[in-house]
Amino acid sequence: MEKANSTEATFSRSVVVVEDDAFMRSLLADSLDKAGFEVSTAASAADAKRLIKVVNPDAVVLDVGLGPGPDGFDLAENLRKLTPDIAIVFLTSMPDPRFAGRDDKAVYSNAAYLNKHLLSDSNTLVQALEAVLTERGVTGFRHHESAERPLINLSKTQIQVLQLVAEGKTNQQIADIRKRSLAATESAITRTLEALGIDTRAEQNVRVAAAMRYVGVVRNPIQN
């Protein structure tokens, strides 16, 4: 756990940044510190829970992917049970919750969801924090609800199947991971490919084509 330094004497708003990447964590803390927030940071969900009990922040900025263990959605659910009024900003490279195996309801109605790829500057994060803290204008900071989000016609199950295909898993491995029969898995893969507009009857390597679609979205969701 870390505490960001500041030249300000007094703060009216405190925020905890939960980010497992040290460079990004430092960058976010510095930006928010300069914007007038009292900033504390944590690298994991476990560290964050301990820190939040001590700091009792007004808001939390959560990275969704926190490495092994609970992710940002798990932490948010836990925090809401302990502190129902805490303001939450999800800050992630995932286009939307489906890519973490979740539904959109994982992002609470008064929470912000910012895609790192869509942040033009640090002011967007500051504005999102202001929105969730005042409960005004939050809609403009819920990127996961955009009609332009990638692979919008795929369900969270199809996103999971596509991810496993992109990882090079065989049909049997995907069946084992999802705890489904091989026949059901092959059917799910076919439906996913069809939803992507990939002709399963063509001579091309359909699995490579599917993997390229997924990797393209994850690396550059703006253009997909």
Per-residue pLDDT tens for 177-199? 999 999 999 999 999 988 888 87
State the Cα–Cα distance between residues 150 and 206, nearest whole angstrom: 19
Q: Indicate the domain borders of the chain.
A: 2-145, 156-223
Nearest to 130 by CA among 87, 93, 80: 87
156-223 CATH, one of 1.10.150, 3.40.190, 3.40.1000, 1.10.10: 1.10.10
Question: Can you give the pLDDT at residue 220?
Answer: 58
Q: Which has more confidence, 83 or 6?
A: 83
State the Cα–Cα distance between residues 120 and 143, nearest whole angstrom: 13
Residue 102, SS3 per DSSP? coil
Question: Can you give the pLDDT at residue 9?
Answer: 37
State the Cα–Cα distance between residues 89 and 60, nearest whole angstrom: 6
E-assigned strands of 81-164? 87-92, 112-115
Per-residue pLDDT tens for 106-163? 888 889 998 887 676 778 899 999 999 988 878 888 888 777 777 888 888 999 999 8
Cβ atoms of 1 and 51 closer than 8 Å:
yes
Dig out the tokens for 135 from the structure: 């409960």
Using the predicted structure, report yes or no on whether residue 3 has a pLDDT greater than 70: no
Residue 87, SS3 per DSSP? strand
Using the predicted structure, report yes or no on whether residue 58 has a pLDDT greater than 60: yes
State the Cα–Cα distance between residues 175 and 123, nearest whole angstrom: 44
Nearest to 165 by CA among 177, 155, 181, 153: 177
Report the mean per-residue pLDDT for the chain.
Answer: 84
Q: How confident is the model at residue 8 (pLDDT cuts 50, 70, 90)?
A: very low
Q: How confident is the model at residue 224 (pLDDT cuts 50, 70, 90)?
A: very low
State the Cα–Cα distance between residues 93 and 162, nearest whole angstrom: 17
Cβ atoms of 18 and 75 closer than 8 Å:
yes
Using the predicted structure, report yes or no on whether residue 73 has a pLDDT greater than 50: yes
Using the predicted structure, report yes or no on whether residue 7 has a pLDDT greater than 50: no
Using the predicted structure, report yes or no on whether residue 4 has a pLDDT greater than 80: no
State the Cα–Cα distance between residues 204 and 101, nearest whole angstrom: 29
2-145 CATH, one of 3.40.50.2300, 3.40.50.300, 3.30.70.2860, 3.65.10.10: 3.40.50.2300
